[in-house]
Amino acid sequence: MADPNRLVHSLIGRKPESTALIEQALTHRSAGPVNNERLEFLGDALLGFVIAEVLLQRFPDASEGDLTRRRATLVNREALARIARTLALGDYLRLDPGALRSGGHARDSVLSDALEALIGAIYLDQGFACAKQMILRVFTDALAEVANRDAGKDPKTRLQEWLQARRRSLPEYEVIAITGEQHAQRFQVRCRLADEERSCIGDGSSRRRAEQQSAETMLTQLIEQEEA
């Protein structure tokens, strides 16, 4: 296994106070009872907070649903594993021989958990400010990408792409009510998923706006469910 002190030095500019703590963060549960599961729990909470704070600052006009969606894009197993690979984190992991032979050091789940555990360990070793700085550094490219990825995309398009990425059926939209005078009508539209019993209602001054609102609500619910 590569030297974990070297990894930490590359991330925060100095060696850790406790090498044992960093080694624990890089130890998979297959390697023994002293492993990174508890540190992963801590790192997950820290990461979620820091990313939420950054998004709140960078997107002052974004809705709660949009912020939730952006956070989910940044903080998920696949995204964390990609960052872990850029850090060559797999070279520093401790696994039992069987897990190592089966390629455990390269699995998304193992890499993402180890990255979160490392964040937790750096927080305990160096404090919140250092952990936050490390998070912002390794997420620089991902944050820039998420800032530009959905520029100009409406909620219906984003919902469709989210479902397609998971090989799920596309939503169905249905006008369920039209109220008001001809010159000031209000539309209610139901967005329904064909592959599960879930629907959301949107309201707007046109059918299109009502559809967009229902799609935004649906996407927010799906992301929150996936995060839970």
Candidates 44, 66, 211, 216; catalytic one: 44
Pairing of strands 186-192, 172-179: antiparallel
CATH of 4-149, one of 1.10.1520.10, 1.10.1660.10, 1.10.3720.10, 2.40.30.110: 1.10.1520.10
161 annotated ligand-binding residue? no
Candidates 66, 78, 108, 116; catalytic one: 116
CATH of 155-227, one of 3.30.160.20, 3.40.50.720, 2.70.98.60, 3.30.300.20: 3.30.160.20
Can you say whether the dihedral through the CA atoms of 219, 55, 85, 34 is positive or negative?
negative
Give the confidence band of 148 by pLDDT, cuts at 50, 70, 90: low
Q: Is the pLDDT of residue 150 over 80?
A: no
66 annotated ligand-binding residue? no
Give the confidence band of 68 by pLDDT, cuts at 50, 70, 90: confident
Cα separation, 38 vs 5, whole angstroms? 20
113 annotated ligand-binding residue? yes
Residue 136 or 185, more confident: 136
SS3 per residue for 122-148: HHHHHCHHHHHHHHHHHCHHHHHHHHH
Find, among 13, 77, 18, 20, the residue nearest to 44 by Cα. 77
Parse the chain into domains and list their residue ranges: 4-149, 155-227
Mean pLDDT, residues 109-123: 96
116 counts as catalytic: yes
Q: Which residue has the tokens 């010159």?
A: 183
Choice among 53-67, 113-127, 146-160, 202-216 with the minimum mean pLDDT = 146-160
